[in-house]
Amino acid sequence: MRKTLCTIAIAGLLGLGMTAFAQDQSATPPPMHGPMRQGFSPENQLAHLTKALNLTSDQQTQIKPILESQQQQIMQIHQDQTISRDDKMAKIKSLRGDTTSKIEAALNPDQKQKYEAMQQKMQERMQERTQGGAGATPPAQPQQ
């Protein structure tokens, strides 16, 4: 009897969880890969830049549409099945350079210097990831 009740309770919880999951999935766009995942939404990027660079409200107003435009253009590039992977990467790299230039135009000299340093660190991290991590040690072999 106890086993049956536990089974019913677990089935009910799973059913509720799946219902909530299905509702949540219908309300949100499908997950994205790379920099466009939810952690890097234009709103989150702007919040990060505001905190790191002490942006004024006027600067935030100027930068937000730049970040939103970048997101839309990257999504279009990713969805275009006629473009090769290498061409997509080149277009996105060019788009990011353009976005960086536009953002820098809205910054004062001190903020621009900090932003450039942030961009440099990001480039280094990306390069480390593509090279398997600079100085990364291979995993230890299991002993037998």
| pLDDT attached to residue 129 | 85
Instruction: Round the average pLDDT of the chain to a whole number and report it.
Output: 78
Specify the higher pLDDT residue, 111 or 129. Answer: 111
- Between CA 107 and CA 117 the distance in angstroms is 14
pLDDT digits (tens, 9 = 90+) for 49-78: 999 999 999 999 999 999 999 999 999 999
pLDDT band at 9 (very low <50, low <70, confident <90, very high): low
Between 59 and 32, the higher pLDDT residue: 59
Name which residue leads in pLDDT, 118 or 132. 118
Rounded to 5 degrees, φ, ψ at 127 are -65, -40
Entry pTM:
0.64
pLDDT tens by residue, 93-125 = 999 999 999 999 999 999 999 999 999 998 899
Cα–Cα distance, 59 to 103 (Å, whole number):
9
Residue linked to tokens 């100085």: 135
